[in-house]
Amino acid sequence: MKVLVAVGSKYGATREVAKRIADQIATHGFEVDFRDAGDVQGIHYYEAVILGSAVYGGLWRRDASGLLKAHRDELRTKDVWLFSVGMETVVKPGQPLDESDSFAREVAAHEHARFPGALDYEKLNVGEKALIRALNPPKGDFRDFTRVRDWAESIAGQLEEIAIS
């Protein structure tokens, strides 16, 4: 079974999460391609797609959401999992977490997982620094690679069942 793991990431924290997912699924013998979402030309080759993005201002990165929107109908015919990486404390009270729950419904994803990300204040541009100063979320690396690996394992288990059915 051919599997695509595609990701939208600005500063690399989410890319590393996606790479761990791809590597973990590959240990089960699946043929896994790992790509930045903007580099994906088409998805017809794949039977399963795992698509994720960092969240900025409640939105997925545009390369990831663009890939999903461009292939919405085709994705509905495949086995799809979505994941979002973010620091939920950046979200203002009352604001929806992000747009990706509706994405999960649109492509009939098996699941949409959320993982904590990483925030390196020094890397941010001037506008981002101003926003982060105002919202003052915790800074640092909050990624939980054990949780990420467990999620990838559960996907691999489901793919194994799909492959024999």
Ligand X SMILES: Cc1cc2nc3c(=O)[nH]c(=O)nc-3n(C[C@H](O)[C@H](O)[C@H](O)COP(=O)(O)O)c2cc1C
Stretch that binds ligand X, among 7-15, 26-34, 39-47, 67-75 (CB under 6 A): 7-15
Look at the block and give the residue holding tokens 């979402």: 37
Binding residue for ligand X (CB under 6 A) from 10, 19, 35, 110?
10
Q: Report residue 44 as tokens.
A: 């017809």
Q: Report residue 148 as tokens.
A: 């990420």
- Residue with smaller CB distance to ligand X, 69 or 133: 133
Binding of ligand X at residue 96 (CB under 6 A)? Answer: no
- Per the CB < 8 A criterion, the answer to whether 20 and 152 are in contact is yes
Fill in the per-residue mask, 33 to 62: x = in contact with ligand X (CB under 6 A), - = not in contact.
Answer: ---------------------xxxxx----
Stretch that binds ligand X, among 35-43, 64-72, 111-119, 144-152 (CB under 6 A): 111-119
Look at the block and give the residue holding tokens 């890939």: 67
The CA distance from 72 to 68, in Å, is 6
Q: Greatest CA separation found in the chain?
A: 52
- Residue with smaller CB distance to ligand X, 1 or 38: 38
